[in-house]
Amino acid sequence: MKNVSIIKALILTVITINMAHAQTIQKRYEHNPFTLVYDGAITKNEKGKVNIHPVKYKLNGIDIAANVYTPANYDASKKYPAVVIAHPNGGIKEQTAGLYAQRLAENGYITISADAAYQGASGGEPRHTDKPASRVEDIHGMADFITQYAGVDANRLGILGICGGGGYTLKAAQSDKRFKAVATLSMFNSGEVRRNGFQNSQLATIQERLQKATEARAQEAAGGKMIYAGVASITDEEIAKTSTDLYREGYEYYYRTYAHPNSTFLYTMSSLLDLMTWDAATNMDLINQPLLMIAGSKADTKYMTDEAFPKAVNAKTKELFVIEGATHIQTYYKQEYVSQAVTKLLSFYQANI
């Protein structure tokens, strides 16, 4: 009986902790007027401080939801350098993309981070479509909007892509020369991973997965049910059993500590038709702008940065900056690593835009 009582007490404790944890998560976005979930987020616009401006604009007929951050004492009659920030796969503008946008704005830049079309608060159907061409177009669209924003010097435009947004940033910068300085943080090559599996773990099943994507596309075309890949929800036990840092810490970040209802790991199965034939690291020789790629020394995704970086043979300048001790996800929120990344980004942008 004593053991049963102990077990019941432990279960009650776990339930209580989980409920408190859930309430904390809920509090993050519900108690912030802009639904920002990152640490130190703006809660109100104050004179003389960095301000946030939720905006909407059309991109190829789709409503795009974005946040623009302006520096302290912003004066629309003056000219400021600007930075476009592309969010991670599964991420949205209220998470790490917003954190970096705010930190750069604190240092004098006008910044923009938008939810990808078909994702987050942006429009587009079917929901959770995740096609590379669309994600790259999102970046061009952010450049279209922000270069017309009051106070922006269109000739001083930089870009920062985080995780999957980093891969799409490399591709966007290959052709879009409005970007005078190109930076990535914890770059994730979505095409390579969807094709080969994370750390090349699914090479044997490429054709099988392409067949499933083909069948999903055919089912959609026939008016059938939309099929999704990815993870809709996950238990604490499943998170604990996840072997890779990227996914274990990613689940914790996106579904627990920095969760937001607009953020999801889902994507349409048919998107794989485009993802699996795409690669962020092709045509890297087209990048002739200054290039900075940042990755954590302990990131299990660092191999993707290491693969892409040497291929940028025509970059005006290039640097691979390694944050010692950081994993991929830790660069999203951990103060000591975020500060190192921001400091490096500032010196890079100040020298090149």
- Lowest mean per-residue pLDDT among 20-29, 267-276, 293-302: 20-29
Asked whether residue 200 is domain-assigned, the answer is no
pLDDT at 26: 54
* Domain span at 21: 1-31
pLDDT at 265: 87
Asked whether residue 172 is domain-assigned, the answer is yes
**Is residue 123 a contact partner of residue 62, using CB atoms and an 8 Å limit?**
yes
pLDDT at 232: 85
Same domain? For 48 and 153 the reply is yes
pLDDT at 27: 67
pLDDT at 256: 94
User: 10 Å Cβ neighbour count for 162?
Assistant: 29
pLDDT at 25: 52
Asked whether residue 80 is domain-assigned, the answer is yes
Nearest to 74 by CA among 118, 42, 108: 108
Instruction: Give per-residue pLDDT as tens, 178-210.
Output: 999 999 999 999 999 999 999 999 999 999 999
Q: How far is residue 279 from each of residues 118, 133, 299, 310, measured CA to CA in Å?
A: 21, 11, 20, 15
Asked whether residue 215 is domain-assigned, the answer is no
Same domain? For 1 and 44 the reply is no
Q: At residue 86, does pLDDT exceed 50?
A: yes
208 vs 3: which has the higher pLDDT: 208
Q: In three state form, how does the secondary structure of 173-240 look? A: HHHCCCEEEEEEECCCCHHHHHHHCHHHCCHHHHHHHHHHHHHHHHHHHCCCCCCEECCCCCCHHHHH
Q: Which two tokens stand for residue 312?
A: 């940028």
Instruction: Give per-residue pLDDT as tens, 122-172.
Output: 999 999 999 999 999 999 999 999 999 999 999 999 999 999 999 999 999
Asked whether residue 222 is domain-assigned, the answer is no
Same domain? For 129 and 185 the reply is yes
Average pLDDT score, the chain = 93
Helix (H, G, I), strand (E, B) or coil at 141: helix
Same domain? For 26 and 138 the reply is no
Total domains, the chain? 2
Asked whether residue 217 is domain-assigned, the answer is no
Instruction: Give per-residue pLDDT as tens, 40-82.
Output: 999 999 999 999 999 999 999 999 999 999 999 999 999 999 9
pLDDT at 3: 45
Same domain? For 79 and 49 the reply is yes
